[in-house]
Amino acid sequence: AQSVTQPDIHITVSEGASLELRCNYSYGATPYLFWYVQSPGQGLQLLLKYFSGDTLVQGIKGFEAEFKRSQSSFNLRKPSVHWSDAAEYFCAVGAPDFGNEKLTFGTGTRLTIIP
């Protein structure tokens, strides 16, 4: 069974500082990997995803993530955060199997931005 661990429940970062959110997964092969963001009152928005190929993935809003097979990780990064990045971030994995499209999410990391 697949699982996702987001070890940081809450992170506080100063505006303009760099950000890294951690995500580790458990899956027997290479899964599909996703990062979603949820702002207050909004639905989950896809930031980026990894299916195959280049292990460094670029997403929207200046985010990127790197798939590291040896570490079973898919950490999310941003070089300089903006106040509007304050939200909750979810890492998710999916099985690359036809007909098995459910996503398994982590517990989320809440990001607070301070001036």
Partner 1 sequence: EAGVTQFPSHSVIEKGQTVTLRCDPISGHDNLYWYRRVMGKEIKFLLHFVKESKQDESGMPNNRFLAERTGGTYSTLKVQPAELEDSGVYFCASSQMRGREFFGPGTRLTVL
87 token code pair: 């939200």
**CB-based contacts of 4: which residues, under 8 Å, 6+ apart?**
23, 24, 25, 26, 91, 92, 93, 104, 105, 106
Position 106 contacts partner 1 (CB under 8 A): yes
Please report, for residues 5, 30, 60, 75, the alpha-carbon distance to residue 72 in angstroms, rounded to integers and kept in the order given: 10, 9, 23, 10
| Closest to partner 1 by CB, 82 or 102 | 102
Position 4 contacts partner 1 (CB under 8 A): yes
Position 74 contacts partner 1 (CB under 8 A): no
Interface segment toward partner 1; rule CB under 8 A; list 10-18, 56-64, 76-84, 92-100: 92-100
Position 24 contacts partner 1 (CB under 8 A): no
Q: For binding to partner 1 (CB under 8 A), which residues are involved?
A: 4, 32, 34, 36, 41-46, 49, 51, 90, 92, 94, 99-108
